[in-house]
């Protein structure tokens, strides 16, 4: 129950961060940087009587209906909730914190700050095995029927929305929208790496028994033991390999310093880990 509550809070936090970008940075500047929010900004300009939040709810309903028709009931409940939470937050901000003018005259700095905030929010949502829906659904349909990779499908859909903004709002705004799509991808990747900053630690020590015991019983983590032979001395040695987060690695490093300050340690940052106790393979 505690884990579910934490996931619920994080999904809402991520959706709220994305909504801040939509309401305070993108909407006042007509920056349609892809996704349902970008499409809704375009629709709001064509039909100003409807708010962006209302359009986001409507577009999400249509996309989920299309998704169920073409893809079946393969949507996670978290994704459905996150997409509507984002729409609700945008609607609430429009109602209780309306924006008459952009925050600044500098369009570029607004775009960069806003996209960084939104990408961080999306990374938080992705880290909870959910997404904010929208163009992800279009990308999955492209993948199923046109054999286009999901990542490329999302990029294609977002670029088409950015192109529409160039036609509607002019080439300058359109170019900024294209740039926003690119920034979003880079920041999401970087933020996800920070959330999942696990390290592979390889240890060779004369006190391998104590280190193994510390890893298993104090840190509560697993380890793999390999037998190795030294090239110069031909001594038989144990090689310990384990995967730890940043916090546990700091503790382990401190412990090894105390028991064997001549231990040999190599550390590799892992971009992605699949399998038991980590991200599921499917």
pLDDT of res. 75: 58
Q: CA dihedral defined by 121, 71, 150, 276, rounded to 10 degrees?
A: 70
Give the sign of the dihedral formed by CA 131, CA 271, CA 33, CA 145.
negative
Report the alpha-carbon distance of residue 165 to residue 41 in Å, rounded. Answer: 9
Give the pLDDT of residue 151. Answer: 59
**How far, in Å, CA of 27 to CA of 102, rounded?**
8
Look at residue 76 in the predicted model and tell me its pLDDT: 67
pTM (2 d.p.): 0.72
Q: Domain coordinates of the chain in residue numbers?
A: 1-195, 198-269
Whole-number Å distance between alpha carbons of 279 and 270: 13
State the Cα–Cα distance between residues 216 and 208, nearest whole angstrom. 12
- With vertex at residue 256, the alpha carbon angle to CA 245 and CA 199, rounded to the nearest 5 degrees, is 20
- What tokens appear for 173 in the block? 């705004």
Mean pLDDT by 10 residues, the chain (282 residues): 88 94 91 84 86 87 81 70 90 90 90 91 82 72 72 74 85 88 80 77 92 92 89 86 88 92 88 64 52
CATH class for the region spanning 198-269 = alpha beta
184 vs 35: CA distance, rounded Å: 11
Would you state the pLDDT for residue 229?
87
Structure-token pair, residue 137: 């659904």
Helical residues (DSSP H) of the chain, grouped into ranges: 2-20, 35-46, 52-71, 77-96, 107-127, 135-146, 150-169, 171-195, 208-213, 246-259
Q: How far apart are CA 34 and CA 185, in angstroms?
A: 11
Residue in the block written with tokens 């939509």: 22
Say if CB 30 and CB 101 are below 8 A apart. no
């Amino acid at each position: 129950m505690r884990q579910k509550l934490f996931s619920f809070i994080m999904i809402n936090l991520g959706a709220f961060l994305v909504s801040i970008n939509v309401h305070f940075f993108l909407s006042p500047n007509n920056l349609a940087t892809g996704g349902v929010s970008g499409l809704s900004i375009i629709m709001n300009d064509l039909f100003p009587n409807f708010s962006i939040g209302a359009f986001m709810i409507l577009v999400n309903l249509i996309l989920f209906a299309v998704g169920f028709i073409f893809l079946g009931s393969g949507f996670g409940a978290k994704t459905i909730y996150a997409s509507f939470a984002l729409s609700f937050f945008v609607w609430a901000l429009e109602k209780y914190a309306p924006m008459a003018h952009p925050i600044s005259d500098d369009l570029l700095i607004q775009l960069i700050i806003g996209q960084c905030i939104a990408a961080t929010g999306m990374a938080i949502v992705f880290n909870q095995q959910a997404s904010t829906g929208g163009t992800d659904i279009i990308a999955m349909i492209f993948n199923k029927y046109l054999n286009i990779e999901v990542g490329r499908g999302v990029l294609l859909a977002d670029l088409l929305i950015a192109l529409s903004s160039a036609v509607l709002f002019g080439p300058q705004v359109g170019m900024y929208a294209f740039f926003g799509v690119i920034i979003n991808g880079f920041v999401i990747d970087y933020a996800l790496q920070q959330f999942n900053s696990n390290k592979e630690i390889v240890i060779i020590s004369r006190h391998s028994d104590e280190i193994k015991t510390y890893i298993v019983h104090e840190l509560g983590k697993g380890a793999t033991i390999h037998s190795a032979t030294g090239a110069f001395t031909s001594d038989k040695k144990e090689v310990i390999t384990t995967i730890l987060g940043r916090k546990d690695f700091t503790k382990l490093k401190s412990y090894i310093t105390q028991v064997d300050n001549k231990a040999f340690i190599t550390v590799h940052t892992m971009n992605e880990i699949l399998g038991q106790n980590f991200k599921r393979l499917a």
